[in-house]
Structure 1
């Protein structure tokens, strides 16, 4: 059976939109620009025109499509059930990667070992001041996201013994950047899941393909998906989890028959196995767009965090507020990402909190860089790291 023509598929997906405009109030880029072309409705019209050869893929046409954060707040509120993510991915595949896409930089980001050495280099005294002025915008933006100091927040508690656990086997997917910058959270996930009764194994660290898939680099994305399927088959696990919700959609796309989730749901299903010591403190909670709209585990996360006695949470506002990180968006459009971030940080300034919690590594690094620019010493943590710090070993 022949594959469906991509242009026809895009046109069919676009025709599902009834142009009601209910997506506009939740779209971060529409809130930023106030321009119809920078809204889901406008992008759907552009995609339809491209699919029907009514317009050519000029910079003016593809600009709004490249600016889209893929936050999927529009998809969540759409009364017509438009499959916006699928439409966006199909259209970006049709166009191919943008000519200015920082391919070499993304190649570094996707390789954990290179990422590790780049992070160590960035911490050398004077490197930032000497190197930053000579770098292109995307590389300078990447340098700004790298923490200047190594943060020794990792729990020293050993992972509990998993022998005799009967809740199933969980494969933990480390990812690429997350395997370096979110090592604390991955260790915390392993500890908590094991304590809750699961057997936890780790897959090798590599890129899931999300960066390529969302930039229209379909061949690289398909190669990553093949790598993932091979690793999953070898693992022989019951569940696949990632501590980074930005990877979830791509993992699910590659493994449609597998239960792929963040750890919160699995922990919540066995919450009676866990106990936490009190923490008399107030934290701001940033819920990444992918956690709210893809994982849809924000309520579950709140339930878990409320198991910590005396912990007070202040959740930052929902869409159209978005921090602007959005995968490689923060590297390709750093000025726009900074504008979006400022709207989030403005709310932070009104809160008297001890720290900021956020589940997505890109969001957390981006927000931390913004706080650092204002000379704020406020720590940023993955919620799993905080849960592990307060966990009481049985």
Structure 2
């Protein structure tokens, strides 16, 4: 076999069908159905690639339900590249019928999103979005989109500080949704990185292509990858950073050979330069799947937060293994996503937090919608925002050439 189908077949053949992935799969835990497990999905992908099964709506739905959390890759003794297999299989099938194209086209346009958010603020839409959402079916992507809309006005776009001279060493990738709803965290990243001596520039805000890549929209993903490469080539930086773990894998795919990192990993190399004011609070720390399995900065995050005096840092228990946001999954399958979110918030409630931290914007908006729905008194923030808030600022230390 050759071409995309051949690649899927080769990747599927690496699976030894041991089943060690089943206990860490959130969708298998939800359904207890073999077809909703990594092992089952690999068998489906293999059959589709070899022409032994037709891509019916019912069959491909099992593939579309996958959250792409990659817990299975960590558990796999055969080192199956499940994430790559899922991307290749979805590319082979093309975008799913239920993919909310209009919503996603809006989400990947930061300028338009800011304009619409401003108009929504003028109309006081956040105050009556719940009523409007209730007029729509719970399975509607627009129902989910309304509920995750933040009531806060978006922060101004992130700006780098030009006090440092010379060529920037780091380039910050703002992304699309994150550039609007996580601008505060991106500014916090710049503040923290400059505090430990890095020079930071900011790339234009646009989508990295993650949702297209994972949704089988190959052409859109390739266009986004080209735009990423063009922006990187003009940046004069030596390393790329993103505060959104969900973007890291796609950025690394677009820029092979370029160091693409979570800012936490860089801050951890210079923790001696960071001093924080005390904060007597208990915070629940939600660790997104991509932070654990792609960025692999979960332990680094907890170590940095524990440098804040008096801060009671409580990582949320696992399982559950995923909150259900998973890129566009919360829009495509809002009822399933709400079930997974409910289990996550139930675990958070056992910690009795005063604040909930999560580093992935999709996860945080999804969790915040559940928190609002249940009337829970937990504000949500990016961990970098908290760290920058408590930072004791000094003159920035210049990085040696």
SS in structure 1 opposite 2:46? helix
Give deviations 1:166-193, integer Å, cap 9, x for gaps: 9x61100000000000000000000000
TM score, norm. by length of structure 2: 0.93
CA gap 1:362/1:129 in 2 versus in 1, 3 angstroms: closer
Which residue pairs with 1:199 in the alignment?
199
Contact 2:356 2:379 in 1 (8 A): yes
Which residue pairs with 1:93 in the alignment?
91
Which residue pairs with 2:322 in the alignment?
322
Of stretches 101-110 and 312-321 in structure 1, the one that deviates more from structure 2 is 312-321
Which residue pairs with 1:364 in the alignment?
364
Q: Does 1:42 align with 2:40?
A: yes
Of stretches 199-208 and 343-352 in structure 1, the one that deviates more from structure 2 is 343-352
Which residue pairs with 1:76 in the alignment?
74
Which residue pairs with 1:31 in the alignment?
29
Of stretches 329-338 and 314-323 in structure 1, the one that deviates more from structure 2 is 314-323
User: 1:13 offset after TM fit, Å?
Assistant: 0.4
CA gap 1:252/1:356 in 2 versus in 1, 3 angstroms: same
SS in structure 2 opposite 1:326? coil
Contact 1:29 1:68 in 2 (8 A): yes
Which residue pairs with 1:373 in the alignment?
373
Distance in 1 (alpha carbons) for counterparts of 2:320 and 2:62: 17
Give deviations 1:331-376, integer Å, cap 9, x for gaps: 0000000000000101122222110010000000000100000112
Of stretches 346-355 and 191-200 in structure 1, the one that deviates more from structure 2 is 346-355
Aligned positions of 1:75-224 closer than 5 A: 75-123=73-121, 124-125=123-124, 128=129, 131-132=132-133, 137-150=140-153, 162-163=163-164, 169-224=169-224
CA gap 1:222/1:354 in 2 versus in 1, 3 angstroms: same
Distance in 1 (alpha carbons) for counterparts of 2:160 and 2:219: 38
User: 1:294 offset after TM fit, Å?
Assistant: 0.4
CA gap 1:129/1:71 in 2 versus in 1, 3 angstroms: closer
User: 1:104 offset after TM fit, Å?
Assistant: 1.0
Contact 1:122 1:143 in 2 (8 A): no
Q: Does 1:280 align with 2:280?
A: yes
User: 1:135 offset after TM fit, Å?
Assistant: 5.2
TM score, norm. by length of structure 1: 0.94
SS in structure 1 opposite 2:58? helix
Which residue pairs with 2:399 in the alignment?
none
User: 1:129 offset after TM fit, Å?
Assistant: 5.5
Which residue pairs with 1:253 in the alignment?
253
Q: How many residues align?
A: 388
Which residue pairs with 1:338 in the alignment?
338
Unaligned runs of 5+ in 2: 395-401
Contact 1:159 1:194 in 2 (8 A): no
User: 1:318 offset after TM fit, Å?
Assistant: 2.4
SS in structure 1 opposite 2:229? helix
Distance in 2 (alpha carbons) for counterparts of 1:196 and 1:56: 55
Distance in 1 (alpha carbons) for counterparts of 2:136 and 2:101: 15
Distance in 2 (alpha carbons) for counterparts of 1:32 and 1:122: 35
User: 1:256 offset after TM fit, Å?
Assistant: 1.1
Contact 2:73 2:80 in 1 (8 A): yes
Contact 1:27 1:320 in 2 (8 A): no
Which residue pairs with 1:310 in the alignment?
310
Which residue pairs with 1:237 in the alignment?
237
